[in-house]
């Protein structure tokens, strides 16, 4: 009888340990699992509402929040020769489509929201600078919020798994 209690206790402890190593995703996040010695290459990507066993001896994991919306202001001298310092209020989100999970895992696993916002800001600044080289200042100021420029910037952001929500 005593042996049965010991066996049950061992099984309960083993089940508790196993359950603590199973990681679950909410409906608004993905889980990225990688090898400890190759953090840059995702081993597994678990979609929202999924779960997976993570062996802490050989694996590391990170969650990517799909609902994150980053808001920031870009101050950039788009036309330095005219002493024109433009300010852009931007909202950038993370692409949540299944086709973006691999891109997100490669680009953002282990990064915090601030780092992701900095990446987005750099992409937007670069694209605004490219746009400003193509047109005159007056046209630029008039058209900076046009759908054409919005789509152009959004296309660049989509390549890294981000989407422009507002500029």
* Structural domain contains residue 29: no
Domain assignment present for residue 58? The answer is no
Do the bridges between strand 84-94 and strand 51-53 make them parallel or antiparallel, or are there none, so unpaired? unpaired
Report pLDDT digits (tens) over 91-106.
888 887 888 888 888 8
In a domain, 17, yes or no: no
State the total domains in the chain.
1
pLDDT score for 8: 80
CA distance 124 to 32: 26
| pLDDT tens, the chain, 167 aa long | 678 888 888 888 877 777 777 888 888 888 888 887 776 677 788 888 888 888 888 888 888 887 777 777 766 555 555 555 566 677 888 887 888 888 888 888 877 788 888 888 888 888 877 777 776 655 665 666 667 777 888 888 888 888 887 77
Give the other-Cβ count within 10 Å of 111's Cβ.
14
Q: Which pLDDT score is estimated for 125?
A: 82
Q: Which pLDDT score, from 0 to 100, does residue 83 have?
A: 54
- Tokens at residue 61, please? 């994991």
pLDDT of residue 157: 86
Q: Are strands 162-166 and 84-94 parallel, antiparallel or unpaired?
A: antiparallel
Q: Give me the pLDDT at residue 121, please.
A: 85
Q: What is the CA radius of gyration of the chain?
A: 23
For helices 147-158 and 113-134, give the axis angle rounded to 10 degrees: 130
| Torsion of Cα atoms, 17 then 19 then 20 then 22, to 10° | 130
On whether residue 1 sits in a domain, the answer given is no
Domain, as residue range, for 130: 69-166
pLDDT for residue 30: 84
Contact at 8 Å (CB) between 109 and 62? yes
Predicted confidence at residue 94, as pLDDT, reads 83
Residue 121 lies in a domain: yes
pLDDT at site 101: 84
Give ∠ CA 85-155-86 in degrees, rounded to 5: 5
Question: Do the domain assignments include residue 150?
Answer: yes
Q: Has residue 131 been placed in a domain? A: yes
| CATH code for position 108 | 3.30.479.30
**Domain annotation covers residue 55:** no
């Amino acid at each position: 009888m005593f042996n049965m209690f010991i066996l049950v206790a061992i099984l309960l402890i083993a089940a508790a340990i196993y359950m603590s190593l199973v990681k679950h995703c909410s409906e608004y996040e993905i889980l990225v699992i990688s090898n400890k010695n190759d953090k840059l290459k995702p081993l597994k990507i678990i979609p929202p509402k999924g779960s997976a066993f993570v062996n802490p001896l050989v694996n590391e994991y990170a969650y990517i929040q799909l609902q994150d919306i980053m808001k920031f202001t870009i101050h950039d001298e788009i036309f330095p020769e005219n002493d024109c310092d433009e300010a852009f209020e931007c909202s950038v989100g993370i692409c949540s489509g299944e086709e973006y999970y691999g891109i997100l895992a490669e680009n953002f696993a282990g990064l915090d929201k601030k780092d992701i916002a900095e990446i987005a800001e750099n992409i937007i600044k670069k694209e605004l600078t490219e746009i400003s080289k193509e047109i005159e200042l007056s046209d630029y100021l008039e058209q900076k919020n046009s759908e054409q420029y919005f789509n152009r910037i959004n296309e660049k952001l989509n390549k890294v798994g981000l989407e422009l929500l507002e500029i």
